[in-house]
Amino acid sequence: MSKAELSEDELNQKHAEKMRRKKEARDKIIATKTIEKGLLVVHTGKGKGKTTAGFGLVFRALGNGMKVGIAQFVKGKRDTGERHALEKFSDQITVVSTGEGFTWETQDREHDIAAAREVWEKAKAMIEDGEHDLVLLDELNIVLRYDYLPLEEVLEVIEARPAMKHVVVTGRNAKDELIEAADLVTEMTQIKHPFRSGVKAQVGIEF
């Protein structure tokens, strides 16, 4: 009998039975997942949304009463909406940044390396401590791409973190070694972007 021949009640019953079977199958899968651990999460790719996704996890953690650390490697100069929102959680959050903006704005490699090192040392302390539950390393991938920090050092610190500490890394061109070490990797794929049509960065969307 086709769907067109079924009554509304029969369609509803058929749908309920299908969803019941799906739930049973899903519950069986979930029951096998018993490991609890701090995750290394990487958001990379050319599409928009990497930092946005990172801050989504930040706000989710804050909503659960967790202590969060944020290290912004190349966006510290910008006055952003998320920074204003985070001020309301000052007792749960630590924010450090370079205050210098994107690397191409300074055009000074030695200065950029020193700025990256300064933020990394503070980020490293948050990764290693027993206070912060989640640490966001915003645009760390750009710093690693330009070799402003040794990849081996970064990986060593992240891998030696406390067992339940979550670390989130954003930025395009994530290194293969970082992807290999990560528990969760998402690649943002750009399909359309208003910038290509002459639309400038919009308040509440880009910053």
Burial degree of 78 (CB within 10 A; 0-12, 13-18, 19+): middle
Q: Give me the pLDDT at residue 3, please.
A: 65
DSSP state of 91: T
Q: Give me the pLDDT at residue 103, please.
A: 60
Q: Between the CA of residue 117 and those of 20, 42, 121, 140, 173, what are the distances in Å?
A: 54, 20, 6, 11, 20
- Could you identify the residue written with the tokens 């539950």? 133
Residue 134 CA neighbour count, 13 Å, CB half: 23
Q: Give me the pLDDT at residue 191, please.
A: 86
Residues 6+ apart with CB under 8 A from 84: none
Distance CA 68, CA 139 (A): 17
Q: pTM (2 decimals)?
A: 0.85
Radius of gyration of the chain measured on its C-alpha atoms: 21
The amino acid at 106: T
- pLDDT string in tens for the chain (207-residue length): 566 677 888 888 988 999 999 999 998 888 987 889 999 999 999 999 999 999 999 999 999 999 999 999 986 556 778 888 888 898 999 999 875 655 666 567 888 899 899 999 999 999 999 999 999 999 999 999 999 999 999 999 999 999 999 999 999 999 999 999 999 999 999 888 887 778 887 777 777
Distance CA 70, CA 86 (A): 10
Q: Give me the pLDDT at residue 101, please.
A: 59
Burial degree of 154 (CB within 10 A; 0-12, 13-18, 19+): buried
